[in-house]
Amino acid sequence: MKHSFFAIDLGATSGRTILGTFSSKGLELQEINRFPNHLIEAGGHFYWDIYELYRHILEGLKLVSRMEDVQITSIGIDTWGVDFVCVGKDGGLLRQPYSYRDPHTNGAPESFFARVPRNRVYGWTGIQVMNFNSLFQLDTLRRNADSALAAADKILFMPDALSYLLTGKMVTEYTIASTAQLINAHTRKLEPALLSEVGLTEEHFGRFVYPGEKIGALSEEVQKLTGLGAIPVIAVAGHDTASAVAAVPALDRNFAYLSSGTWSLMGVETDAPVITAETESCNFTNEGGVSGTIRLLKNICGMWLLERCRAEWGETSYSDLIAEAEECEPFRCLINPDDPLFANPDSMEQAIKSYSVTHRQPQPETRGEIVRCIFESLALRYRQVLDNLRSLSPRPVDVLHVIGGGSRNELLNQFTANAIGIPVVSGPSEATAIGNVMIQAISAGEATDVDSMRRQINSSIPLKTFQPKDVEAWDAAYLLFKQITNI
């Protein structure tokens, strides 16, 4: 009988369930089911369909229950950050959760900082200011007299809400809560002063837990629906980036990481929060990691740009688009990937063209030119953020580890190495699921600690290293990028 770990990994555009099993070959992953995660637009708002996600999770559990010679040791859930569900006194979910891409928080930070100074909020939390942080979502709902928030007995972040549906137990997991801008980075607990500002108390949140702690077991209802027993559900690093960073295959700590997916998250690992005037000015964030670490990082718009373009182009394959991009003229036009213009436009292709014209550059005409513009701009933005990280990190940065789905993009990896001037190591592409499984394994006593876990991943997962090329041309392009984007 194989002892396996069931990882539920939900991103902002898709989700999947994965079975992780340790064998003589190392860690083996088997995808059980994969499914889309669509935004629902209704009444001028954007929502997530949490019940549809739950249904897909149950389907994955049902499939596993029918597999011979497989015994699930535990279950873990990770998702994107900041979004949450309101739960009523009777335990029912009060409304489908808003998506962080909903426009209702436009201008929300400024409204909040009119009451509480920005530097005080950053001094407590060390979290970068983004209009969709949970703090600003909650403040917006309160100012709008939102009925779900007014009736809420509990606030559950997305992975915690799904674990509640599976177990009936309500928790607040540290890494996902740290994205909310409600956690004091020094105490690593909810900050009472910020809760008070949005009309909440600690009682509005579930039991506070850290990665590796048990949430509960599958409820009798879920056992009956899936055919499984009372399997434990473990609080892994509930924020998908925290799970992914746990799986960085580094042999020492002199590295930076780039979790590459819908978002690109670039950072370094520290033992304590780094909250200074410089980190505040650069809008760097101090999110919770595993084993007491802090993830000092910056959110950068990632494959969202290309995903939205592909949706307009009939879902053309990545390989075709990359081949077209390779044939195009380098540095024809560059964009700031984090410009608000690209947050959620009706047409991403048109938004990129408009940006180019507005910034006095040739307009990209073909798909290949648009893709090359996206990749080159991302690589140059990575350099800019890495330059800042180097000055903030307590350790040197000798290598950049690219993890997540974007690690398979060899053209972007090579562009990134060219731009930053140090080696780029790509893989594992399934870092989030691996980190999820490994935290479960540590909890079960089948792995010892994160460092040994990383060494095992390094030795058992195929990795590829990209060395910098054409450095002079990329140095010149970087100066042009900074001039065009003014960031």
240 is catalytic: yes
Provide the 10 A C-beta neighbour count for residue 223. Answer: 16
Of 373, 345, 371, the closest CA to residue 359 belongs to: 373
- CA dist., res. 376 & res. 411, Å (int): 10
- CA dist., res. 72 & res. 54, Å (int): 18
Under DSSP, is residue 382 helix (H, G, I), strand (E, B) or coil? Answer: helix
- CA dist., res. 449 & res. 113, Å (int): 40
Strand segments, DSSP code E, in 164-262 are: 171-173, 183-184, 189-190, 207-209, 213-217, 232-235, 255-260
The dihedral through the CA atoms of 245, 15, 378, 177 has a sign that is negative
Of 335, 304, 347, the closest CA to residue 100 belongs to: 304
Catalytic residue among 49, 240, 387, 449: 240
Under DSSP, is residue 260 helix (H, G, I), strand (E, B) or coil? Answer: strand
Q: Judge whether 171 and 194 are in contact, CB under 8 Å.
A: no
Under DSSP, is residue 269 helix (H, G, I), strand (E, B) or coil? Answer: strand
Strand segments, DSSP code E, in 150-200 are: 154-157, 171-173, 183-184, 189-190
- CA dist., res. 209 & res. 3, Å (int): 25
Of 359, 374, 381, 382, the closest CA to residue 310 belongs to: 374
Q: Which residues contact 399 (CB under 8 A, 6 or more apart)?
A: 250, 254, 255, 256, 422, 423, 424, 425
Q: Judge whether 248 and 431 are in contact, CB under 8 Å.
A: yes
CA distances from 354 to 161, 263, 362 (A): 40, 22, 10
Of 200, 87, 78, 88, the closest CA to residue 134 belongs to: 200
End-to-end CA distance of the chain: 56
Residue 281, burial from CB neighbour count under 10 angstroms (0-12, 13-18, 19+) = exposed
- CA dist., res. 328 & res. 321, Å (int): 11
Per the listing, tokens 């194989």 go with 2
**Residue 48: which H helix or E strand, with range?**
strand 45-48
Q: What b-and-e string marks burial along 86-113, b requiring 16 or more CB atoms within 10 Å of the CB?
A: bbeeeeebbbbbbbbebebbeebbeebe
Which residues are catalytic, by number? 240
